[in-house]
Structure 1
């Protein structure tokens, strides 16, 4: 499987691939026909292989199907629909987008930006009676023109472009080839043992690598079904679960925590809809949350480790009877994984250093960014920017993001270690530790904490609690009790920039 066209060929023609509320089911045969329709429509107006098509659509079956079908003949560039005009201008310009796809009647500021920039606007009109995710395209009078590279995408064509989050620098363009995304989908399918009998409930955003590859492509690669929602909503999750009867779902830790907070009132649904497994990725899952999820759903929880540059998955805890090690992100699950020092030497088992990867799912390199590529690739290995260690059995533990390590007067502190201690306090529901600038020490440890409903704890009490478990220099000097911790666009807690967001820097 080296292209998305080959990937879509896996499903039985009459089996359902996509489903959604108020829509007929979409079969694999219909999705393959839709792909041909999209290819013809784009090729006739001069848009072909490796041309960039930006997608600004709400989370939906149409977003899933347009991502896949556009990538089969051009390059899909999904953008966060909640961006402001200035952000759309930056991204559309940076991508060198040839066209923008929006839903018919869209009020997105991207529409005006595209007009200003002379980017072709294509309107998508959903046709739910023909199947979830089916649509027609209005090319808005674009003049007929031969595409320079028409036809089916090839293995080394770029299927998908995404930007890195850019928390510490200008966002970088990550091109992912058909070979990359197909390999990653297969890696995830192997880890999860997907089959045509699986039905996923997708709550992940579809402008982000986790949702696109693990939520959509991996199950489709094995002929499975994906039910598409409008995004994650903790209030709707259990009613969706009851209606859809999924066999699995994947989410980020903050979503799992929100689901757990409503689980006590939904025990009957949990019993009625037994899950084969639950998957977690995109940021570290506190071992306490993993244990609570497994106890609540009576299903194995597998934590995976992914990043955009690896087309998502790099490592994953195995399903039973394999051993799941809470607090680790599991075994290499696709690319090779090693630990490297700053000089580029590979380190022995048990040594702490930078996690590096190489394999068919890893991006060929950042676009138009020689400096970033020189820093990111060493002797064929991609440097993830994560600090970690491999144990004797090959399980990967992440000890921190190299840029997130707090340097307090020369003492290096992993914020994740402090997180895990605070999570053990019975009153703590959610926590993120981060560095706060300090004029003499360089940085101090800060912690933002959300308490469990109906429970109380003071800043002093929480600091004293950590002092019994951690060396004095690791104890947070400031603990902020909050109703909600600010999150990134994909629902992740982001340490970098947290001090600024909270007015502490």
Structure 2
């Protein structure tokens, strides 16, 4: 399938059409577009709470009325089903209403944080929804309003940009209502009306399920807050009794260590981590504090997903209803019902990251054990090369994370005129501790980390900087480390 936007942006499905149809025949995809699914949920339970945010609650009927009102404004402005519409609203009802309004017109949603003007240009965006306003205009007589094919584009995900420039990836209605909904169904564990507290941004790959899956497919309740703060998040758990909470490891670590005494976790069925490697120490601390299973999801905006409740045993067995996974020269590659269409306005990325038959290269190395469980062994691109020796920062981070004095850790390269790069450990310290580099070296050596992988620099921070998705921003840290540790 090939889709052409009103401004000439071409989105081609790089997965063979016969496979897409086979996934529908197998029942992995509903073969419905997202807004029609949402309307089903409105008819089924009109008074159920759909969204809870910092302003209060909206039921499904009230939410749909607001969606239709905004969709009418978009239509009058000239927006049609061949438009890509940017949504720059903070997490909350306005972001949900805007996304559904775009889908109601059959157009494609591009959720963004503030700024990102270069992405708007690359995507050929004519309309932006921001602060409740529709910006942009065209001749409304030229705007067509056609119901989209389920395999047509519905939403564009933007990668985190924590390691490189952000990439835009286009997904179809079936990919969200099928593949992504299937993994959420497994995560929900049979919860019939899930209440999902989503602490990561709805614009992120991890948080992108919020509107298409929690609301359109599952008919649940979406609990949102504009800004993450550990104490406030714990109070939301007590007040709104979510069945699942979704956060990245850095958030989980801060919540597990927060001094708030009383948190009512009786509504929880599970807690979910993704977006970065989950250190065993963080997993154990969360299990103690919240008393429910912790699900670790391996996934990305590029269309891969696999999850488990036992991170020490890999990231789980691939589910064909979500995606199948194979290794190509040690690299994890994925293809399945949640596979994206293509990159947006970046044929060079398609050439570099898509293989024949619709397979997506993840950029991660991995292996399967004898029980079919996938183990992720590190990023192919995120490495430090010291004097010709390649070091995986993720491996070192896991080892440092076991140190009792260290709360958070990220390892980044620092330029060196003689060796090319050196490894710098950036950490936050628990109260009452002040470990030195020598003490850290002794701890890591005793734990069996190879001498050539030991960090040569140690920097402490009150908090590690987080990117727009809530993950630690390695690019920001590398810049800070380079300035504090000149070569």
Q: Specify the TM-score bucket, using the shorter chain as the normaliser.
A: 0.7 to 0.9
Q: 1:335 aligns with which of 323, 331, 339?
A: 323
Structure 1 residue 176 displacement after superposition? 1.7
Secondary structure at the aligned position of 1:197 is classed as coil
RMSD: 2.4
Q: Name 1:55's counterpart in structure 2.
A: 87
Q: Does 1:252 align with 2:238?
A: no
Structure 1 residue 340 displacement after superposition? 0.9
Q: Does 1:443 align with 2:421?
A: yes
Q: Name 1:360's counterpart in structure 2.
A: 337
Change (3 A) 1:356 1:8: same
1:38-94 CA distance string (max 9 Å, x none): 44433333211130211121221221232233133211112212x3xxx43x22222
Secondary structure at the aligned position of 2:298 is classed as strand
Q: Does 1:97 align with 2:125?
A: yes
Q: Name 2:135's counterpart in structure 1.
A: 121
Structure 1 residue 497 displacement after superposition? 5.8
Q: Name 1:19's counterpart in structure 2.
A: 52
Q: Name 2:12's counterpart in structure 1.
A: none
Secondary structure at the aligned position of 2:305 is classed as strand
Structure 1 residue 247 displacement after superposition? 1.3
Cα separation, 2, equivalents of 1:146 and 1:154 = 23
Cα separation, 2, equivalents of 1:164 and 1:197 = 29
Secondary structure at the aligned position of 2:79 is classed as coil
Q: Name 2:222's counterpart in structure 1.
A: 226
1:390-437 CA distance string (max 9 Å, x none): 222222222211111222233322211111111111111111112223
Secondary structure at the aligned position of 2:56 is classed as coil
Change (3 A) 1:284 1:367: same
Change (3 A) 1:286 1:236: same
Q: How many residues align?
A: 444
State which drifts further: 493-502 or 474-483: 493-502
CA contact (8 A) 1:459 1:480 kept: no
Q: Name 1:307's counterpart in structure 2.
A: 300
CA contact (8 A) 2:313 2:373 kept: no
Q: Does 1:383 align with 2:374?
A: no
Q: Does 1:399 align with 2:377?
A: yes
CA contact (8 A) 1:448 1:482 kept: yes
Change (3 A) 1:467 1:391: same
Q: Does 1:417 align with 2:431?
A: no
Q: Name 1:138's counterpart in structure 2.
A: none
Cα separation, 2, equivalents of 1:493 and 1:327 = 24
Q: Name 2:19's counterpart in structure 1.
A: none
Structure 1 residue 33 displacement after superposition? 4.4
Q: Name 2:25's counterpart in structure 1.
A: none
Structure 1 residue 473 displacement after superposition? 0.1
Cα separation, 2, equivalents of 1:172 and 1:474 = 30
Q: Does 1:79 align with 2:112?
A: yes
Q: Name 1:137's counterpart in structure 2.
A: none
| TM-score, length-scaled by structure 2 | 0.84
1:320-364 CA distance string (max 9 Å, x none): xxxx243632222411111111xxxxxxxxxxx111001121222
Q: Name 1:481's counterpart in structure 2.
A: 460
Q: 2:236 aligns with which of 224, 236, 240?
A: 240
Structure 1 residue 22 displacement after superposition? 4.1
Q: Name 1:183's counterpart in structure 2.
A: 178
In structure 2, stretches of 5+ residues that fail to align are 1-29
Change (3 A) 1:325 1:365: same
Structure of higher RCO (CA pairs closer than 8 Å, 6+ residues apart): 2
Q: Name 2:5's counterpart in structure 1.
A: none
Q: Name 2:312's counterpart in structure 1.
A: 326
Cα separation, 1, equivalents of 2:76 and 2:190 = 37
In structure 1, stretches of 5+ residues that fail to align are 107-119, 123-141, 319-323, 342-352
1:305-332 CA distance string (max 9 Å, x none): 111121xx511115xxxxx243632222
Structure 1 residue 482 displacement after superposition? 1.9
Cα separation, 1, equivalents of 2:161 and 2:408 = 24
CA contact (8 A) 1:72 1:153 kept: no
Q: Name 1:490's counterpart in structure 2.
A: 469
Q: Name 2:73's counterpart in structure 1.
A: 41
Structure 1 residue 144 displacement after superposition? 6.4
| TM-score, length-scaled by structure 1 | 0.82
Q: Name 2:154's counterpart in structure 1.
A: 159
